[in-house]
Amino acid sequence: MNRKHREIELLVLTMFAAVPLYFTFSVSIAALVIFHVILGAIAVRVAMGKGPALIPARLMRAIAIAYIPFYLIDWRVLSGSAIAASTHLVLFIALYQPIESLQRDNRLQRLLTASLIFIASIATSFHMAVLPFILAFVFLMFRQLMVVSHLESARIAGADDVELPTARTAGFYVIGAGMIALFLFPLLPRVRSPLVQGIGGPNPRRSTGLSESINFGEGRVTSQNTAVISRVWVDRRTRQMFDAIRLRGTIYDRYDRDEWRQTYRGYRELPSMDDAIAIAKAKGVESTATVQQVVQRGKVLLPVGAVSVSGMPARLFEGPTPQTYHTYYDGMLNLSVQMAYQAEPLQLTRVAVPKYPVLPEVAALARRIVGTDTTPVGRARRIEQYLMKNYRYVPNPASLGKTMSVDDFLLRERAGHCEYFAAGMVVLLTALDVPSRIAGGYYGGRYNPITGYYVIRRSDAHAWTEVWDGTRWLTFDSTPEVLRPGASTGSVLREYVAALGDSLNFVWDRYILSFGLADQLALAEDLLVRGRATLASLRQKLSTDALKVGTRQYGALAAIVIALGAMVALIVRRRRSLFDALARYLKKHGIEVGPAMTMEEALDQLRRQHPDAARELAPLIAMYEEERFSSHEDRKRRTRIRRKLAELRA
Amino acid sequence: MVLAVAAINTGNNALYIAVALMLGSLLLSGLASKGGLKGLDVEIAGIDEAWAKRPAEGTIRVRNRSRLWNVRDVVLVSDAFAEPVLIPFLPRGERTQFVAFLFPRRGLAHVTTIDSYTRYPFGFVLKKRRLRVESEVVVFPALLAEDGNHDRLHPVAGEQASSGRLGHGTEIHSFREYVRGDSLRQVHWKKSASLGRWIMKQSEAEAAHAVHVVVDPFKPREMSEDAFEEMISAAATFIHDAARRGFDVTLSLPRVSVHARASESATPLFRALALVEPMHERVHQIVDRDAVLFSVAGPAAERPASGRPHAEAR
């Protein structure tokens, strides 16, 4: 790799470091494009054998001086963020440095700049694709560091011929460092800085996907976004208890100025007891579900039927409307949710019938549907069935070609999307003075047969109806079941490929992206518990099996253990250093070889006390010294010394 | 460090992956550099004529004993090396490398250690290991600038040129001490008997292209070491020049004389000079009339009355 290639590789490394910034939106796209175009042009110049000075060095210095006030403008006005402005600054430095390299060797500074860009890139990245990016960057960085290290060594030695490390060597170190990192990753302390709570830039992709209100006077859009909202595990019993998983996000319980709105009642902190946060009173059969989700704008989407939550890394609030939940934690949640067949509110709040101006025709329709049924639940069930059977589901609201009111939906069009079905049912129940509300959230999801969880995407957004039966809110869904989100299926192969992709995503989300302090503590606890259990079972086994020691099996085992022990002892003995072996021999003759004593001195003492023994030992000590102070080991000589020593001992 | 702070501040596990990789690479680089150095053995294979203060060519044998690690970018440094030596790459095995040695002073130089340094693979840390070697080198005295030595040889060379005594060459010209290899025919029995040691006759013809150098190792206490070394260097330079011009050279030191014919190498003479130690007491030495005496203490050696004026180290 000559100088030109090295320079091009360094430029490529710098450009590559900034690639994820296009996807994280933490800096402006225009700045990134300028950065890549200029560096690319410099790389082309270098490849053509010209210098990197695309812009004359003097002009570049002048631009650099002008950038200082520009940075302040960028910070306060253009970007409005110190982080974005600082990233722009680092990008500018990365452009300046190749031109500066004509004056002095600044390769190490350039690598540092590339590393800073790399940090900015991954600090705001959450997607799994960041992993291959990190590995590729580390590979290129290792190559560059090896080049710098080698050139420095060659410079010190005044050597001309350079033998640069190959890509294979860099690959070897990436694999090696990766294996060590695999071990270190779960052990690194996940301590958050108390001063700076995140420096991540705004992510425009982050939204709940649920609207603040429902206005049928405006066009509605069905989301086709497949971003994962949540993953939910439910056991077999839970699956039998509920028709499908419903994550409740928003409650529209008020009709005001032609819009269905939420009643804001503020945020009430839910007390935690033994890590579990009670959110409702449980009645009937209970079961457990595990919910993983990224918090979007503070909203925690819990399954309908949830009565308590554990594993919350921060405080949980009920609000802004009852039975909806909020947290100030910004990250991924892995919650264990206790569910019950019947979940009653912890606190009774005033339940009222929405103030919807019910038309006489609608009231007549409602009465016709329910007939003689007088109970709220019975009436709700009849209306649900009626809408399911007699109304047509339109998945894309735009296909209607116009906006329409709920009354139009009920009396004339008889076709609409899920919000019309939910609102229609609420209007019909309002006509009958039965308290009800529209619930917005996510429904169903797709079952992943590989990992056994339901993956719920943004495209699974749905609305349904909740009816007050006097003690609790009951779920009714008048949208035809086969037409609800997530019901459409593709080919089996496609389903499995999608499941595989999502499984990988899940592993990334669960064990990499959201691996935190709680997981570390759980891991430590688990190891401790397992260790104790193993010890206890071993003790138990030893005490119960003590009586069986006399049997043939145990006899054979004991023989094997003894043989192994003897083998180990033999190896240890053979491995004992020559010095120790000689010292042991000398000790037999009453000469204690101290730590600061040479064999020659010990031999002198032996000569005085036992001249005959000294005469025999002298050649061995001479051989030992020859071996000890030789620049290379001679195995045969060592063996000869040991053998002769054994003969002397005999 | 920056990476670790960023990881703590953002809590983003992608950064923790990078931190783990970074720590992994640090650990691995430490293991690689230590492993590379640990498996390294160096042995001085040989050194050509080593003159003090002049680089001498030599070879070292470098061996990598490690089964796992390659030796890369290792810089060897020793007091005996003229400049650091780079071993760019050495997989398992052995190779010989040329090295320039440089010894500051004459004598028996012991090369016992060579320090090996490496920053490989990433330059994060500098690792060092001291390698034990066993090597003894006889370093010849430093040679002085040649200009000054021509003058010293002039009397001898001039005499050779103008001598009309080449003739039969059988007349006794002078006496000298016995040197191994001398013929018994040249023994001057009478003088030998009176002095109690072998004294050889030198014929005129022989003396015409022969130089007898006497080095007096007496160094008065007030005389500096440097002056003594300068005198030894002057003698070495003189012998070197004479040998180059094709003279037979005899070097006399107390209790030893070394002779080198024109056709032979003068190495034994330089070796003898290399090992001369200063003496604080005068030692009796016979200096024949044509001998060139090198001394820091002025004429002290016994010189026959008919002897020619001697040259002295200045």
Residue B53 has pLDDT above 80, yes or no: yes
> For position A438, what pLDDT does the model report?
94
**CB–CB contact B123 A515 (8 Å):** no
Q: A515-519, B49-53, B308-312 — which is least confidently predicted?
A: B308-312
Residue A437 has pLDDT above 90, yes or no: yes
Residue type, position A613, single letter? A
> For position B140, what pLDDT does the model report?
93
Tokens of B231: 């005198």
> For position A193, what pLDDT does the model report?
56
Q: Locate tokens 């420095």: which residue?
A: A152
Candidates A205, A229, A208, A209; CA nearest to A444 is A229
Residue type, position A21, single letter? L
Asked if B6 has any chain A CB less than 8 Å from its own CB, the reply is: yes
Mean pLDDT of chain A: 84
Residue B117 has pLDDT above 80, yes or no: yes
> For position A326, what pLDDT does the model report?
92
Residues B203-260 have pLDDT tens digits of: 665 666 788 888 888 888 888 888 999 999 999 999 988 888 888 888 888 878 888 8
Q: A315-319, A345-349, A353-357 — which is least confidently predicted?
A: A345-349
Q: A222-226, A533-537, B78-82 — which is least confidently predicted?
A: A222-226
Tokens of A481: 């079941």
> For position A545, what pLDDT does the model report?
66
Tokens of A251: 């409650």
Taking a C-beta distance cutoff of 8 angstroms, is the pair A403, A219 a contact? Answer: yes
Q: A195-209, A225-239, A415-429, A621-635 — which is least confidently predicted?
A: A195-209
Set of chain A residues whose Cβ sits within 8 Å of the Cβ of B42: 631
Set of chain A residues whose Cβ sits within 8 Å of the Cβ of B97: none
Higher pLDDT, residue A18 or A520: A18
Residues A18-42 have pLDDT tens digits of: 999 998 877 888 999 999 999 999 9
Set of chain A residues whose Cβ sits within 8 Å of the Cβ of B83: 157-158
> For position A205, what pLDDT does the model report?
40
Asked if B25 has any chain A CB less than 8 Å from its own CB, the reply is: yes
The H-or-E segment that residue A143 falls in is helix A130-157
Residue A387 has pLDDT above 90, yes or no: yes
Phi, psi of A257 (to 5 degrees): 50, 55
Distance from CA of B15 to the nearest CA of A (A): 6
Residue A200 has pLDDT above 90, yes or no: no
Candidates A150, A155, A511, A514: best to mutate against B (most CBs of B within 10 A) is A150
In terms of average pLDDT, the best of A192-201, B7-16, B148-157 is B7-16
Asked if A145 has any chain B CB less than 8 Å from its own CB, the reply is: yes
> For position B171, what pLDDT does the model report?
66
Asked if B132 has any chain A CB less than 8 Å from its own CB, the reply is: yes
Q: What is the pTM of this model?
A: 0.62
Give the Cα separation of A578 and A599 in Å (integer). Answer: 11
Residue B35 has pLDDT above 90, yes or no: no
Candidates B43, B286, B51, B58; CA nearest to A632 is B43
Q: A7-11, A205-209, A306-310, A553-557 — which is least confidently predicted?
A: A205-209
DSSP A114-127: HHHHHHHHHHT--S
The H-or-E segment that residue A32 falls in is helix A29-47
Asked if A388 has any chain B CB less than 8 Å from its own CB, the reply is: no
Asked if B237 has any chain A CB less than 8 Å from its own CB, the reply is: no
Residue A518 has pLDDT above 50, yes or no: yes
Higher pLDDT, residue A488 or A634: A634
Asked if A274 has any chain B CB less than 8 Å from its own CB, the reply is: no
Candidates A156, A187, A519, A633: best to mutate against B (most CBs of B within 10 A) is A156
> For position A15, what pLDDT does the model report?
95
H helix and E strand count, chain A: 20, 21
Eight-class DSSP state of A452: T
Q: Report the greatest alpha carbon distance in chain A.
A: 129
Asked if A507 has any chain B CB less than 8 Å from its own CB, the reply is: no
> For position B205, what pLDDT does the model report?
56
Q: What percent of chain A has pLDDT over 70?
A: 90
Q: A519-528, B119-128, B159-168, B227-236 — which is least confidently predicted?
A: B159-168
Residues B65-75 have pLDDT tens digits of: 888 888 888 99
Cis, bond preceding A320 (omega within 30 deg of 0): yes
> Domains in chain B, please, with CATH?
38-140 (2.60.40.3770), 148-156+210-313 (no CATH), 162-206 (no CATH)
Residues B273-300 have pLDDT tens digits of: 999 888 888 877 777 767 888 888 765 5
Q: A251-255, A294-298, B131-135 — which is least confidently predicted?
A: A294-298
Residue A550 has pLDDT above 80, yes or no: no
Give the Cα separation of B282 and B297 in Å (integer). Answer: 9
Asked if B82 has any chain A CB less than 8 Å from its own CB, the reply is: no
**What length does chain B have?**
314
Among chain B residues, the shortest Cα distance to A150 is held by B73
**CB–CB contact B84 A157 (8 Å):** yes
DSSP chain B: -HHHHHHHHH--HHHHHHHHHHHHHHHHHHHHHHHHHHTEEEEEEEE--EEBTS-EEEEEEEEE--SSPPEEEEEEE-TTBSS-EEEEEE-SEEEEEEEEE-BSSSEEEEEEEEEEEE-TTTSS--EEEEEEEEEEEEEEPPPPPTHHHHHHHHHHHHHHHH-S--SS--SEEEEEE--TT--GGGB-HHHHHHHTS-EEEEEHHHHHTEEEEEEE-B--TTS-HHHHHHHHHHHHHHHHHHHHTT-EEEEEETTEEEEE-TTS--HHHHHHHHT---BSS----B--TTPEEEESS-S-SB--TTPPPPP---
**CB–CB contact B10 A130 (8 Å):** no
> For position A252, what pLDDT does the model report?
92
Q: How confident is the model at residue B9 (pLDDT cuts 50, 70, 90)?
A: low
Tokens of A613: 């023994």
Distance from CA of B71 to the nearest CA of A (A): 11
Residues A58-106 have pLDDT tens digits of: 898 899 999 989 999 988 888 888 888 889 999 999 999 998 887 888 8
Set of chain B residues whose Cβ sits within 8 Å of the Cβ of A161: 88
- Residues 77-136 on A with a CB inside 8 Å of B are 115-116, 118-119, 122-126, 130-131, 134
Residues B120-153 have pLDDT tens digits of: 888 888 889 998 888 888 999 999 876 555 555 5
Higher pLDDT, residue B118 or A192: B118
> For position B158, what pLDDT does the model report?
42
DSSP A533-578: HHHHHHHHHHHHHGGGGGSHHHHHHHHHHHHHHHHHHHHHHHHS-H
> For position A151, what pLDDT does the model report?
87
ipTM of this model?
0.72
- Residues 424-443 on A with a CB inside 8 Å of B are none
Residue B166 has pLDDT above 50, yes or no: no
B139-169 b/e (C-beta count within 10 Å ≥ 16 → b): bbbbbbeeeebeebbeebbeebeeeebeeee
Candidates B3, B5, B16: best to mutate against A (most CBs of A within 10 A) is B16
> For position B167, what pLDDT does the model report?
37
Asked if A179 has any chain B CB less than 8 Å from its own CB, the reply is: yes
Measure the CA dihedral A310/A316/A317/A322, to 10°: -30
Q: How confident is the model at residue A228 (pLDDT cuts 50, 70, 90)?
A: confident
Mean pLDDT of chain B: 80
Set of chain B residues whose Cβ sits within 8 Å of the Cβ of A185: 16-17, 20
Residue A240 has pLDDT above 80, yes or no: no
Residue A524 has pLDDT above 80, yes or no: yes
